[in-house]
Amino acid sequence: MAVSQRDQTLSLLAAANNHGDLAVKLSSLKQAKDILLAADLSLLSAELFPYLVELQSSHEPLVRKTLVETIEEISLKTMEYSPVLMPVLLTLLNDDDSVVARQTIVAGTHIFCKALDELALQFQRHGLVERWLEEIWSWMIKFKDTVFQIALEAKSVGPRLLAIKFMETCVLLFMPDNDSRGKITEVGRNAHMFNIIRVAGGHPVLDSVALQSEANRCFLVLLDLLSSSGGLPGSITISVVNSKQHVWQQCARLIRSDVCM
C-alpha cells in the first residue's frame, strides 16, 4: 500500500512541478496533499517531502499559496514529520506576491501556536522534549523574528497587517494570567491552548521569563506604531488601534506592577 501511495504521490508532485497547465498543477498538488494527510508519513515523508519543497520555486503564485496551505495542514496533523518543510515558510514570508506572503504568515502563526502547545504538553506528560520538536521550534523562532521585521518595515500593507496581528498574538500567548484562551484558539486552531503558566515552573526549551519579556517588547512596539500613526497607512493605524482590548489591559497591569522595564 505504501509503495502505491508513494508512486501515486510522486506522479502527482511531478505534475505539480512540471505540467504547463495551472489547473493541472493545482489539482495535482491538492490530490497529493490528500494522500499525504491520509498516509503513514513515517514511511513516505523522507522520500516525498523534498519534491514538495521544490514547489516553493514555482513561478505560479497560486501554486506557492497552495503549497503553504499544504504545509500547514500536514504540520498541524503530524508535526513530527514536517521539520524539513519549515524552511519553506521562512522563504515564502518574503514572497513577491502579497497573497502568498499573507498566507505564509497565517499558516506560520497556526503552526507557531501548535508548536508552543506541543512543547508544553510533551514536557508535562513525558518530562522531555523530542528533538524533532526542538528543531521545529528553532524554525519558529526564526519565523517570529522575520514576521516582527515585516511588521516594522514591510512596504506591502497586507503582510504588514498580518504581521502586526501576529505580534498581538505573541502578547496574548506570553502574558501571565491570560484570560483570553478562547480568543487565541481561533488563531492557533488548538484543542489545548498554550498558557505561559504551564511552563513557569521550568522547561528545557521555553524560558517563561524570556517569553514574557518578548510580550512586553511586542507591546511597546505596538505602542510605538500607534504613536507614529501619522506616517502609517490608515489600515495599519486601524489594526493597531483595534488590537483586542484585553491585550492593552493585560499590558497596563504589567506596567503598573513594574514588569515592563
Which grid coordinates belong to 122? 510533551
pLDDT tens track, the chain, 261 positions: 456 888 999 999 999 999 999 999 999 999 999 999 998 888 788 889 999 999 999 999 999 999 999 999 999 999 999 999 999 999 999 999 999 999 999 999 999 999 999 999 999 898 899 999 999 999 999 999 999 999 988 678 889 989 988 998 998 899 876 554 444 444 444 444 788 888 888 899 999 999 999 988 888 888 787 666 555 555 555 555 555 455 555 555 555 554 444
Which grid coordinates belong to 8? 501515486
**What are the contacts of 28-33 at 24+ separation with CB within 8 A?**
29/55, 29/63, 29/66, 29/67, 29/70, 30/66, 30/70, 32/70, 33/69, 33/70, 33/73, 33/74
How many CA atoms lie less than 13 Å away from 58 in the CB half-sphere?
A: 31
H or E element: which one contains 36? helix 22-38
User: What pTM value is reported for the model?
Assistant: 0.85
